[in-house]
Amino acid sequence: MTTRTPRILVLGTGGTIAGAGSGGTGTAYRPGGLSLEVLVGHLAALGLAAELVPQEIARIGSQDIGWDEWRALHAACTAALADPAVDGVIITHGTDTAEETAFLLDLTLPTHKPIVLVGAMRAADAVGADGMRNFANAVKVAGDPAAAGRGVMLVMGDAVLAARDARKAATSAIDAFRSFPRGPMARVTPSSLDWFGPAHRLGEGARYGFPESSPRVAILTAGAGMDEQPVKALLGIGCKGVVLAGMGQGNAPASVIAALAEAAASGVPVVRSTRVDEGIVDRNVEVDDDALGLVAARALGPAKARMLLMVLVANGVTDARRVQAAFDGG
């Protein structure tokens, strides 16, 4: 148990939680308009039992995040994990791609200290802003020794979601995130934290090396009546992997599936996920994955399937059986 006040590194990247310029009731605002120092200052004024150490990585809308920011976040988290004076890490992040950053870090960092992403759906100066509450909740989680051994987490709307399960499901509602296939790991408020189960990844090291390269992996969304030309175009620009956001259980018109099978046969791994909001994509349902060399995304939606495939390709894992094993793993 930590007996002293927890020391938490706060890595800022921008997003609505640091959004400003809404004028209280306006719609437009600038994500990342507020500096991390100011944001952390607002929180410190609440008198939470934690020492917060801010470090700004970026001040962007998370639609613009990429390998430079991910590399910086990974390096800062790695340093914090090795520093005995740091108990946990919070990353303030835009909600558009929070699930991608959270999952990338989840795949490439060990689990022995809590790492928590947090965002907001309303700008910091908007009426009814949710950012300070979410941030206070994140402090509660990152400062709890029982939060270690659970992988990277996302705190939004009084819930703690596992990185692998979290998904943005609403464009502007406060209750914007869903957790699939597992529900939330905990409920949290600024003064309470209830875990629904024991830490399931205690002592786990990083699952994969952080990508040295940034392989181009594309998501292709299936639509009724489409043909195979988009698959050919993706291979033409040098994609090293393709994620199909298919219909239903990862389906697409026959010519598209045939072109994807050709890609797989040429050594470009192809993962079938679904454009449907939620559900498992299983192997060999309507598409003969065994015969065509394709991979089923299981519970991962297209955005997270792409992230896992990029990590796998960067780590030299392209064989369909090994890629499938990574998608099967919890």
At its nearest, how many Å lie between ligand GLU and the CB of residue 10?
Answer: 16
Instruction: Answer yes or no whether residue 119 interacts with ligand GLU by CB under 6 A.
Output: yes
Q: Among this protein's residues, is 108 annotated catalytic?
A: no
Instruction: Answer yes or no whether residue 101 interacts with ligand GLU by CB under 6 A.
Output: no
- Residue 257's nearest CA partner among 270, 267, 269 is 270
**Residue (15 or 293) nearer to ligand GLU, CB:** 15
Residues 22-41 that bind ligand GLU (CB under 6 A): 31
Instruction: Answer yes or no whether residue 12 interacts with ligand GLU by CB under 6 A.
Output: no
In this structure, what token pair is assigned to residue 16? 């609505």
Instruction: Answer yes or no whether residue 62 interacts with ligand GLU by CB under 6 A.
Output: yes
Per-position DSSP letters for 270-296, written without gaps between them = EEEEESSSS--B-TTSSS-HHHHT-EE
Per-position DSSP letters for 200-266, written without gaps between them = SSTT---SSPPPSS---EEEEE--TT--SHHHHHHHHTT-SEEEEEEBTTTB--HHHHHHHHHHHHT
Query: Which of 6, 33, 61, 250: binder of ligand GLU (CB under 6 A)?
Result: 61
Active-site residue among 2, 5, 16, 92? 16
Helix (H, G, I), strand (E, B) or coil at 85: coil
At its nearest, how many Å lie between ligand GLU and the CB of residue 96?
Answer: 3
Own/partner pairs, 28-31, CB within 8 angstroms, 24+ separation: 29/123, 29/125, 29/126, 31/60, 31/61, 31/62, 31/94, 31/123
Q: Interacting stretch for ligand GLU, rule CB under 6 A, among 39-47, 49-57, 60-68, 301-309?
A: 60-68
At its nearest, how many Å lie between ligand GLU and the CB of residue 249?
Answer: 29
At its nearest, how many Å lie between ligand GLU and the CB of residue 121?
Answer: 5
- Which residues are annotated as catalytic? 16
Which residues of the shown chain bind ligand GLU in the complex (CB under 6 A)? 14-16, 31, 61-63, 94-96, 119, 121
